[in-house]
Structure 1
Amino acid sequence: MTAVHPPLRRAVQVRAREWGWRHAGRKAFAARQVDLGIAPGERVLLLGASGAGKSTLLHALAGVLGTSDEGEQEGDLLLDGVPPAAARGRAGLVLQDPETQVVLARVGDEVAFAAENLAVPREEIWRRVGRALDDVGLDLPLDHPTTALSGGQKQRLALAAVLAMEPGLLLLDEPTANLDPAGVLEVRDAVVRVLERTGATLVVVEHRVAVWADVVDRVIVLDAGGGILADGPPGTVLVQEQTRSRLAEAGVWVPGRQPAVGGTLPTDAGGEGLLSARSLSVARSRRGRAVVEDLSLTVSAGQALSITGPNGAGKSTAALTIGGLLRPRAGTLEASALLAGAAGPDPFRWRSAHLVQRIGTVFQEPEHQFLTATVGEELAFGPRQVGAPDSPRIAELAERLRLTHLLGANPFTLSGGEKRRLSVATMLATAPRLLILDEPTFGQDALTWAELVTLLRELVREGVAVLSVTHDTDFIRALGGATLHIADGAGRLVSR
């Protein structure tokens, strides 16, 4: 029997009857034969393999899937007995990619925006804004520029904006994926406090199952082939061995079960130096303040290096600078002859065709890299630019990263995990000597996570340098190598 949390005056009831959705231009349904009911005030953890339709279901519940021109719906999906589009404002959605949710220039205005659209009285709006920012731990002035936020800070901001709405249905899509370990618990606890205060219904999609298992009433697992794979209290779905085995086989992260990774753990030795930073200072823009200063390190062939640290510390900025995409504020960044060839020692001055063959950078937001209309074209784009349009590596990468069945799909219709794997594959297609990954395991189920780690292990053993910005401690352990911890404006190299 599920627990229902008072008060119920704002909580939304959800009902799906054989519901499904197919994106325009796609042969397969993103989700299908979903049949479930969620009681007002119930707290649900929604699980499933990458591509099973979790994000699609959340988008549908929020009423943002679009018109019939954008896809085909079957069955019924209702909030309090009406279609989601007729219940706008009753549901609040935090998107998987918070970058796409930020619309205004200042932090305070962004948090207030949705509440203003709901005609909340002005005095009440700013009371809610302050409380929401406190809840998510975003301690910044109201006039702080949203463009100056890190990915993790934008994730907190997006959550604060939705919390300020005080919706009857709170929909969270990977709300802690880009947060540091302390921030994960802080944000989860903030959500619980809001639920206790408002009594809202919760549906949260998250691969960090253990984080949410103790605060939800129910776990629903979508089957990648359609329908429901499992449904029940966490103590049943996540504990009974028969169910745990079924979930693990489907790629669901099961607490206490670590996916098997192929290949051998790379050594710390590394080979010849590829890139050296000396007294490097980095900034998010040419006129912005330096976020990391006096950073010195050498990246060598066949080395795995993980960059860790709290949100907003400058990890992504450092990675983009090392990757030749941002100009150093001070200090030097010099490529060795082995990496640079005839391109010269300064990666920032390399032409794009030279850069992509030497340093491949996977952004924190995969959509920022997509340039074409299909997955197949996206994979071929880089090799075509460097004169290798028929590279056999394309088909191999598509197979390894489980993208073959999506070659004709529009990249923007993929799930978050599929987008991440595509962004990795596009960078690997040109065979760079240095691969830079920003949150590479974001949105991955257990099986695709293991496949990605196995592939990266193989690359390191082949002499590729892999530099990863990540909060995923399991990934760091599985890939091995050294860790660069960035905090308080400085970086400290930790060898293992």
Structure 2
Amino acid sequence: MTPGLVPPQGAVHVSARGWGWRHAGRKAFAARHLELEITPGERVLLLGASGAGKSTVLHGLAGVLGTQDEGEQEGELLLDGAHPASVRGRAGLVLQDPETQVVLARVGDEVAFAAENLSVPREEIWQRVGRALDDVGLALPLDHPTTALSGGQKQRLALASVLAMEPGLLLLDEPTANLDPDGVLEVRDAVVRVLERTGATLVVVEHRVAVWADVVDRVIVLDAGGGILADGPPGTVLVQEATRARLADAGVWIPGWRPPVGGTLPSSGSGPALLSARELAVARTRRGPAAVEDLAIEIRAGEALGITGPNGAGKSTAALTLGGLLRPRAGTLVAHPGLAGTAGSTPHRWRSPQLVQRIGTVFQEPEHQFLTASVEEELTFGPRRISDTVDTARIAELAERLRLTHLLRANPFTLSGGEKRRLSVATMLATAPRLLILDEPTFGQDALTWAELVTLLRELVDDGVAVLSVTHDADFSDALGGATLHISGGAGRLVSR
């Protein structure tokens, strides 16, 4: 067994005594003044505003926050009375970004990896692998390449890998964020089945509160300023009027409530055509089958368009192709003069400075587009690629509206998941593109930042920008309006709202 790993031995008891953590190079603590006890086998939903420290708490419980050289710790965080780093393997963590958790080339090996490190007998490992893949609904051959998976499939894979460990403490960070509606319920039910079989303790961070409210024993809400804002059974924390009001003010999603948004609901795009696709086939690589074929779509100025469909249907591949980042497999993709200007009509042949001021693409994984060591540098990087001068007033406005002003000197990679997503959106808006393409734009957002993002996008559409969003967020689609391109079974179908 790998040194430092401890095989699971029943449900874990969690305790925090004045615990806090400050990342190196940051003035503010990511989490602070945490006092709590979680009994073995208890199921906890951990809530809080974006940046309140939810992911930091999970990382602390998993023992992966590193040494004092990487940050400063206050108080104690203990698993069964021991420091989490000394009993790694007792806790299994599914990260907010599944991309960072996949390490091996084949699906079966990836799911087996952690169990192998815990010295689980070989015969039992492969039984666990099959059971975990069935649990999360990932029906793929064991030798299927992990690089060929969609974002949602990687999320299922990461969960299966941890479930195969059968840990005493299961830590889930936004486990359903990039899943289609059916996949959300499948994954939640898979987690419940594992908990019933193993009796493990659960701590899950999730903005989809209603999905988990009926299967947890307790809701703990972190205060953005440190400590705990609310703590109790779901029927108390999420139902009592006074508590609901406090949570709404803090930006916590609560069942049956959606925050008000500004701007006007965009109408159907009536502006000039910007981008047209005919009989378009898209693929991640030049070899192998196309992800989507016979795609026909026209994107106009001042239009909102959503792309929906099940995980693995090819939505992100289609978006990357429309954004000029992948070469079409077949068919035609034409940029009209209102978008192309003097750059030519073929987006994938545009140079980087030409592309960034015409089409801005926000990736599903924000880290993939970070290039500098600070938030401020990240916001000015794109504008400096296309001009010697930077509109500092616009940069300041974007930072203020997307709640990034207090983070301007922070390293982008130390931000919370929701903060990273807002930064990735802001970096694309900073270059004022005519077409903005966003892949899961509301991932990791609390209610208040979600509402501000929707308001900002509504205003962009009203100003004549075309906004195309790959999303599973039905509330976001309703709030932004427009038409929907539903991709399923290798084909796309345009649906009018």
> The TM-score by the shorter chain falls in which range?
over 0.9
Q: 1 CA distance for matches of 2:469 and 2:288?
A: 24
What's the counterpart of residue 260 of structure 1? 260
**Residue 302 in structure 1 maps to residue 308 in structure 2:** no
In the alignment, is residue 103 of structure 1 matched against residue 103 of structure 2?
Answer: yes
Match of 2:439?
438
* Structure 1: distance between partners of 2:372 and 2:270: 36
**Contact between 1:159 and 1:175, CA under 8 Å: does it hold in 2?**
yes
Answering whether residue 473 of structure 2 is matched by residue 478 of structure 1, we say no
One-letter amino acid of the structure 1 residue matched with residue 494 of structure 2: L
Within 5 Å, which residues of 2 pair with 1:169-248?
169-248=169-248
Residue by residue over 1:342-378, the C-alpha shift from the partner in whole angstroms, topping out at 9 and shown as x without a partner, is: 1000000000000000000000000000000000000
Q: In the alignment, residue 463 of structure 2 is paired with which amino acid? A: E
Letter in 2 for 1:466: V
User: SS of the residue aligned with 1:126?
Assistant: helix
Deviation at residue 388 of structure 1 after TM alignment:
4.8
The one-letter code matched in structure 1 to 2:67 is T
Matched residue, 2:63:
63
Gaps of 5+ in 1: 1-7
8 A Cα contact 1:282 1:292, kept in partner: yes
SS in 2 for 1:194: helix
TM-score (norm 1): 0.98
Q: Give the Cα separation in 1 of the matches to 2:322 and 2:389.
A: 28
Quick one: which amino acid aligns to residue 429 of structure 2? L
CA distance, structure 2, for counterparts of residue 465 and residue 354 of structure 1:
17
Q: One-letter code of the match for 1:457?
A: R
Report the residue type matching 1:459 in the other structure.
L
Partners of 1:137 and 1:494 lie apart in 2 by 28
Q: Which residue in the other structure is 2:419 paired with?
A: 418
Task: Give the C-alpha shift of residue 9 in structure 1.
Answer: 5.6
2:5 aligns with none
Structure 2 Cα separation of the partners of residues 258 and 120 of structure 1: 46
**In 1, Cα distance between the equivalents of 2:261 and 2:270?**
21
Matches within 5 A, 1:27-426: 27-391=27-391, 392-426=393-427
Equivalent-residue separation in structure 1 for 2:55 and 2:303 (angstroms): 35
Amino acid at match of 1:431: A
| Structure 2 Cα separation of the partners of residues 296 and 160 of structure 1 | 36
Aligned to 1:466: 467
Give the match's secondary structure for 1:257.
Answer: coil
Aligned to 1:4: none
Q: 2 CA distance for matches of 1:322 and 1:120?
A: 46
1:282 and 1:365 map into 2 onto residues whose CA distance is 20
CA gap of 1:214–1:388, structure 2 versus 1, over 3 A, is farther
Distance in 2, Cα, partners of 1:303 & 1:269 = 4
Q: 1:203 is paired with a residue of what secondary structure? A: strand
Assess if the C-alpha contact under 8 Å between 1:279 and 1:331 holds in 2: yes
CA deviations 1:162-184 (Å, max 9, x no partner) are: 00000000000000000000000
Residues 388, 485 of structure 1: CA spacing in aligned structure 2 closer, same or farther, 3 A cutoff? Answer: farther
Deviations 1:135-155 (A, max 9, x none): 000000000000000000000
Q: Distance in 1 between matches of 2:29 and 2:394?
A: 28
**Conserved? CA contact 1:274–1:300, under 8 Å:** yes
Instruction: Decide whether aligned partners of structure 1 residues 9 and 90 sit closer, same or farther in structure 2, where only a CA change above 3 A counts.
Output: closer
Partner Cα separation in structure 2 for residue 335 and residue 171 of structure 1: 45
1:294 to partner: Cα distance: 0.4
Distance 1:434 1:16 in 2: 47
Conservation of the 8 A alpha-carbon contact between 1:90 and 1:169: yes
Shift of 1:114: 0.3
Preserved contact between residue 21 and residue 32 of structure 1 (Cα < 8 Å): yes
Seen in structure 2, the aligned counterparts of structure 1 residues 239 and 325 have a Cα distance that, compared at 3 Å, is same
Give 3-state SS (helix, strand or coil) of 2:183's partner.
helix
Query: Bigger shift: 156-165 or 282-291?
Result: 282-291
Q: 41-50 or 282-291, which moves further after superposition?
A: 282-291
After superposition, give the CA deviation of every residue in 1:371-425 in whole Å (9 maximum; x if it has no partner): 0000000001001111154212111100000000000000000000000000000
* 4+ aligned runs moved over 3 Å, structure 1: none
> What amino acid does structure 2 have at the position aligned with 1:149?
L
Aligned-residue sequence identity (percent) comes to 84
Mean alpha-carbon deviation: is it higher for 8-17 or for 450-459?
8-17
* Deviation (angstroms), 1:106: 0.2
Per-residue deviation, 1:227: 0.3
Supply the distance in 2 between the matched residues of 1:386 and 1:271 (Cα, whole angstroms).
25
State the partner residue of 1:5.
Answer: none
Which residue number in structure 2 is paired with residue 18 of structure 1? 18
Instruction: Tell me the alpha carbon deviations over residues 43-78 of structure 1, each in whole angstroms, 9 at most, x when there is no partner.
Output: 000000000000000001000011111100000000
Give the Cα–Cα distance (whole angstroms) in 2 for the partners of residues 244 and 46 of structure 1.
Answer: 15
Which amino acid in structure 2 is aligned with residue 139 of structure 1? A
- The residue type paired with residue 183 of structure 1 is G
Return the offset for 1:432: 0.1
In the alignment, the residues of structure 2 paired with residue 363 and residue 132 of structure 1 have an alpha-carbon distance, to the nearest angstrom, of 28
5+ unaligned residues in a row in structure 2: which ranges? Answer: 1-7
Kindly provide the amino acid, as one letter, of the partner of residue 412 in structure 1: F
Give the counterpart letter for 2:56 in structure 1.
Answer: T
Q: Distance in 1 between matches of 2:227 and 2:318?
A: 43
Q: Which amino acid aligns with 2:157?
A: L
Instruction: Note if contact 2:269-2:304 (Cα within 8 Å) is conserved in structure 1.
Output: no
Contact 2:9 2:90 in 1 (8 A): no
Asked whether the equivalents of residues 380 and 389 of structure 1 are also in contact (C-alpha less than 8 Å), the reply is no
Q: Displacement, 1:289?
A: 1.4
- SS in structure 1 of the partner of residue 274 of structure 2: strand
| Structure 1 SS opposite 2:381 | helix
The letter of the residue matching 1:344 is G
